[in-house]
Structure 1
Amino acid sequence: INSYQQAIQLNPNDAVAYYNLGIALRQQGKLDEEIDSYQQAIQLNPNYANAYNNLGVALSEQGKLDQAIDSYQQAIKLNPNDADAYNNLGIALRQQGKLDQAIDSYQQAIKLNPNDAVAYYNLGIALSEQGKLDEEIDSYQQAIKLNPNYANAYYNLGVALSEQGKLDEAIDSYHKALSLPDSEATPASAHTLAHNGLGFAFQQQGKLLRQQGNSDAAIAKLKEAITEYKRSIEIDSNYVTAQNNLREAQRLAILWSNPPTIAIDDRKHLPSETDEPLVKVLRSTVQIIAEVSEGNSIGAGWVVKRQGNTVWIVTNRHVISGEQTKPPSDKIEVEFFSELPDDKRPRYDATIENITAPDNWDLDLAVLKVTAVPDDIEPLKMLTGRFANNTDVFVIGHPHNLISRWISSPGKTVRYDPNYNRFPIDASVAKGHSGGPVINNKHEVIGIMVAIRTAENIATARDRPTPIIAGGSGPATGGFGLAYRMEVVIKQLKTWGILN
């Protein structure tokens, strides 16, 4: 860095020196300074295609996807044969949920560089989010053909094969990923992911064996799954999906070993309002368990409407899809609050009534419908309009890093701005709080949790949001939460016909 800075002092018009300085600053994680350097290089040389490409990468890492896309497009305009720029453009478009455009960009990158394994890998990811499993698998296989040591491609291939029900082939693919070098730990690496994927494949095999009446073999497979989940967590203790899967597998191990004989009335296992003043709020806040390609996505939701024995529950789209841009789960269950242990708490099947589009970055919502629910569960009262800064609140959810569920995390609202859909909350939150209600002291819902931010990036929260995903993108815990204002939520619920 010092050498590049000296070169700039000697020749302030040296665009290449600014460009190289940006690359060096990137290696130190200094994104703002890196961006400044690329912008200075571009100012000195407006035709500097590589500088535009690198600027796009840095802006993308800051979550400024629109600006990043503009930079990539300018790089392509200046150099139409830049395969890397097309690949990077595809990544940004996919992050925005613009899958058709992303696929076009990846295909153009491949056309320009047919030996680019990464472009095939990225194409496979976009195809997976369109549910095109056969084409997705072909893309990963091509990536592996070009780079036989591509551990991440083997992992993704395993996930796709598992979704096709080809569990033995998926297991082989996960084992291959684990046999290849992997130096990363956090965020989730290929080995972290492969151990988790292997565990989920074993768990699926266990379910099939149990359906065939082979209980002992099913439980043995479940134990293998538990071992793999633990190995995944040993590599990356922040990998939420493996933690969710481990907890679910341990629950199943108890249920399969000792199947329940009678249904339990969970209304008999509630604390008094004296012991738990929030019991009615907790009772109307659910734990959502959605089976996704990597295992289980767990989050919160809460009752907004009841008719007879049917309730409608609002949550985040990403809670039931695992990731904003992925298709939603077709197997969703909910649990209502009680003091029963995990293996005794009743579960209810849920269906999707409404859901926002994967490319709608302004709103991340879904509504679930559940029938035959206990008669004591009522919709929560919602508060609209301005509230004071530093309002005392509770954020209710199911943080992955705690054994207990239905945690009421105390906090304060940081600011209210009617010009923005979301407001920040100073509270200790974690993955599992998503979709949960933000409650004031009158037990009124003033917001719905949607994202986590750390103290370092709360100032940029107004940029296009980066979704919390099951695979580990974004912080697993943070000192700030972001919640939608109730006016925004109610407007969407009325549009969907859930509320009048």
Structure 2
Amino acid sequence: MALNNLSNRYSDLGRRQDALPTTEDALKIRRELPKTNLGNLARALNNMGKFFSDLGRHQEALAPTEDAVKIYRELAKTNPAYLGNLANSLNSLGYVELELGQPAIARDAFEKALKLYRPLATSNRVFQEDLQRTQNNLDELNRNEGIRTGAKQVLEATNVSYLPQGDPLTPVKRAVVLLWPTFSGKNAGVGLLGTGFVVRRQGDRAWIVTALHVVRDLESNALATKVEAELFTGPLPAGLVAPRVEVLLSQGQALRASGDEPILLEVRGLPPDIQPLQLATTTAQGVLMVVGHPSKPGPWTVVSYPLLKTTEQALLLDGGLDPGASGSPVLSASRQVVGVVYDSPEVTKSRPIPQVWAFPVNALKAKMAP
């Protein structure tokens, strides 16, 4: 157990070359012990598969990941407490199979994981993020396979024919993007989706803002390996998918060691009609509007919130938001940005009403200063 914990710590620190031999040592010991705790053996096997994947050695990741699935499946037959572990190992298996060019096998693994996660997430909030990550992995697989096989086509980024006509919020929605981050490590694959919005533009170059945790793994503090920004198009017919642009990330960006903050990221290839949202010069007050991508009810949702309180560090809004809305702009009645959403914490006895927390616009302006 100590060796397994050490390997996880190495992984969190980005020392993947050190994590793998430590896990191998843990496995060697576990295989020699009486098989009284197969759960720990499966955990070590699953970790080994993830460490091999992190190093790009996907073929070597396959066998230990498959072994972990087999053990967890047997354990779950008599002990439902292992269903979450089984779902996690199936999601890991889907990622490995996808990297090995086996999309059909990967899809089957993701779907089996989702079938397990859904009832678990209903009764336990701990599994809700796992459910969302697995669903995102499956959605990304289906999108990419549809494009690869010709069953789907990507709408041209400059095609505005599907945008809602007469909606005064269409220009705002065009400036708000849906962020698809991809991570390595223990949660390898597509992570939790987030929101960003355009705040500056110079020709083909533009800059979006989001909350740092959208594009950084909270355990290892490593930035995502890839982030794509999906553009608002309005409802599309079957066979068409929304365009995306690549977000430029730099591991050398000046970021705080831990915690959260607004982060400014560069994008290229935005169509000319997408223009930056204007930043407010006055204090936030009254009823404010959030445009973003909560997992419920869905992308480009517009919700109004009364302002509860303003401090130098945060705006507190009266109401709740689901995951995915982090990075959303908080807008005044004149549609100027007064804040950036970063959390909607769980209701507790000490905080009995749902709230949305946002960085004030001055925190964003500080990031944009030369």
Decide: shared fold, TM above 0.5. Answer: yes
Of 361, 370, 394, the residue aligned with 2:267 is: 370
Question: How many percent identity over aligned positions?
Answer: 23
Aligned-pair distance for 1:204?
Answer: 1.9
- 2:347 is aligned to 455
SS, match of residue 435 in structure 1: coil
Larger radius of gyration: 1
Quote the Cα distance in structure 2 between the aligned partners of 1:355 and 1:396.
27
Aligned-pair distance for 1:413?
Answer: 2.4
**Partner amino acid, structure 2, of 1:438:** V
Kept in 1: contact 2:146–2:152 (CA 8 A): no
- 1:233 is aligned to 117
Residue 156 of structure 1 pairs with residue 47 of structure 2: yes
- 2:303 is aligned to 409
- 2:218 is aligned to 323
Residue ranges of structure 2 left out of the alignment (5+ in a row): 32-37, 122-127
Matches within 5 A, 1:413-492: 413-418=307-312, 421-456=313-348, 459=351, 479-492=354-367
Aligned-pair distance for 1:147?
Answer: 4.4
Matches within 5 A, 1:143-292: 143-147=26-30, 149=38, 150=40, 151-178=42-69, 179-180=71-72, 181=75, 189-206=84-101, 218-234=102-118, 236-237=120-121, 238=128, 239-258=131-150, 264=156, 265-272=158-165, 274=166, 276-292=167-183
- CA change 1:166–1:231 in 2 (3 A) is farther
Kept in 2: contact 1:429–1:452 (CA 8 A): yes
SS, match of residue 323 in structure 1: coil
Quote the Cα distance in structure 2 between the aligned partners of 1:314 and 1:185.
40
Residue ranges of structure 1 left out of the alignment (5+ in a row): 1-116, 207-217, 461-477
Quote the Cα distance in structure 2 between the aligned partners of 1:310 and 1:233.
40
Quote the Cα distance in structure 1 between the aligned partners of 2:277 and 2:221.
29
Kept in 1: contact 2:287–2:306 (CA 8 A): yes
- Taking structure 2 as the reference length, the TM-score comes to 0.81
Aligned-pair distance for 1:261?
Answer: 6.7
1:111-132 per-position Cα deviation (integer Å, ceiling 9, x unaligned) = xxxxxx1x33332233223322
Residue 308 of structure 1 pairs with residue 203 of structure 2: yes
- 1:123 is aligned to 6
Aligned-pair distance for 1:171?
Answer: 2.7
- CA change 1:235–1:491 in 2 (3 A) is same
1:166-221 per-position Cα deviation (integer Å, ceiling 9, x unaligned) = 223323222333313366769x9322221111111222222xxxxxxxxxxx5534
SS, match of residue 290 in structure 1: strand
**Partner amino acid, structure 2, of 1:480:** Q
**Paired residues, what number?**
341
Quote the Cα distance in structure 2 between the aligned partners of 1:232 and 1:158.
21
- 1:34 is aligned to none
Aligned-pair distance for 1:257?
Answer: 2.7
Pick the structure with more helix per residue.
Answer: 1
Give the alignment's Cα RMSD to 1 decimal: 2.9
SS, match of residue 415 in structure 1: strand
- CA change 1:246–1:450 in 2 (3 A) is same
Aligned-pair distance for 1:283?
Answer: 0.6
Aligned-pair distance for 1:229?
Answer: 4.4
Quote the Cα distance in structure 2 between the aligned partners of 1:291 and 1:202.
16
